[in-house]
Structure 1
């Protein structure tokens, strides 16, 4: 019995860490190293209630949403849509053609040889927009329109063996784009980016992120609303009116010269002005 309990205790941290969620729905830094709440202009549903801005990055406080048991029947979103009460922290605003950066905690699911992890799987990473004003029933709903496949990260599995250098090179596609993962595998920040389609109708839309770690584990999802504008000028007017910076995102690797993992020539972006 003692041996069984010991084995169970060893397994529990892995099971507990098998999750993730989107923290920020309009982040100013693509491919960044560390989470900075001041770089977040917008948040998912009920971010204030779950304290996503101020809690330690990577701790969920109940926000994680996995479509357990029957993903075709489980409600798609962690919380029902309630625009009037769900955005004490501000809602996102995008414009057609914008590259949007979102971020998530890694929760031990990155293959990086620098910390002797090579087989952490990454299966599917998709962005959807919802057709209509009501939440879809489930992940199989025909109201979900895929707008981007954000890629799958490299990892060693079966006969596929990437070199240690390749597994530890950033940026990388998919969920595992977390350059400082080995410093804090549980709470490190990963970033995605997706593009708002030019043919999307301006107006308020619901967006859905879906991640599948491995086929044996049901999907994880995060839902949020955003006002989509036809032009950057219109979006900028809205952000200025709500006290937020109009700067578009910058890329960490374009504004820093990095040698052997150390920044040797940084260029500071404009300081953001964040409401909320």
Structure 2
């Protein structure tokens, strides 16, 4: 093999793992299982903006197909959302918009892309998690950028435990705050499912809102964002009426650790939740 080719192969071998660890995005904007172990498309009730363009519903969970949005170089000057807002074209019957109610706990899912400190499969426990925020947008138009004063913080979802001197037990204790909440990470380091949860504020004005997820994995790396819209209702009954009219399930989400007894990482006493019935 020519020297230049060997150098290229070596470069790719070193660079691709770093690239794989460097990104993520939100796959589902209303998932019916909090702190779950494995992605299940049938548990996803709503999707991000433009999910249909990138085959998010039926594509491989950890494959972004151009969906990822990283605010490179000058985050304060970079478009916050991967695609401009257009509610009539960016959602479909198969990738519908979310519907929330005041006080609802909302679960989001994302692929881990190698970025979890778990000593069962990682020697490096200094895998940084810096910021995990949910914003709501003030107004009907996309904000210009991550520094826009139209972004209102809905919830700080915390950061995952990490560090060179961290107690190894903390890296294997789930659920975790922040990005690294992925109990089955070691089974598929690139594409394991991680989950977040946040709560719709009780003082949020009912109506349609744009939400934005922002993740900073390291202070030296530009933020990652995902945008989506949701109709926010005053009560669960109103939200349920909307989902019934659109053929969606009205079941409440369940927490994986509340319906299963886990011993040494194995389910020993499962309780089956009500199966969701998802349209499409």
What TM-score, normalized by structure 1, do the two folds share?
Answer: 0.96
- Kindly report which structure 2 residues correspond to 1:149-228, keeping only aligned pairs within 5 A, or say none: 149-157=156-164, 161-228=165-232
- Kindly report which structure 2 residues correspond to 1:28-67, keeping only aligned pairs within 5 A, or say none: 28-67=32-71
Q: What stretches of structure 1 move > 4 A for 4+ residues in a row?
A: 1-4
**1:130-177 C-alpha deviation (Å, 9 max, x unpaired):** 0000000000000000010000001114xxx11211111100110000
Partners of 1:118 and 1:25 in 2: CA distance:
29
Partners of 2:18 and 2:139 in 1: CA distance:
35
Q: Structure 2 residue aligned with 1:121, among 112, 128, 135?
A: 128
Deviation, 1:92, is 0.2
Give the aligned partner of residue 98 of structure 1: 104
Question: Which stretch has the larger CA shift, 143-152 or 239-248?
Answer: 239-248
SS in 2 for 1:107: coil
Give the aligned partner of residue 11 of structure 1: 14
- Kindly report which structure 2 residues correspond to 1:82-97, keeping only aligned pairs within 5 A, or say none: 82-88=86-92, 89-97=95-103
Contact 1:105–1:189 (Cα < 8 Å) also in 2: yes
Deviation, 1:110, is 0.2
Structure 1: gaps spanning 5 or more residues? none
- Kindly report which structure 2 residues correspond to 1:239-258, keeping only aligned pairs within 5 A, or say none: 239-258=243-262
Deviation, 1:9, is 2.2
**1:50-70 C-alpha deviation (Å, 9 max, x unpaired):** 111111111101100000111
Give the number of equivalent residue pairs: 273
Deviation, 1:6, is 5.0
Give the root-mean-square deviation of aligned CA atoms. 1.2
Question: Which stretch has the larger CA shift, 2-11 or 90-99?
Answer: 2-11
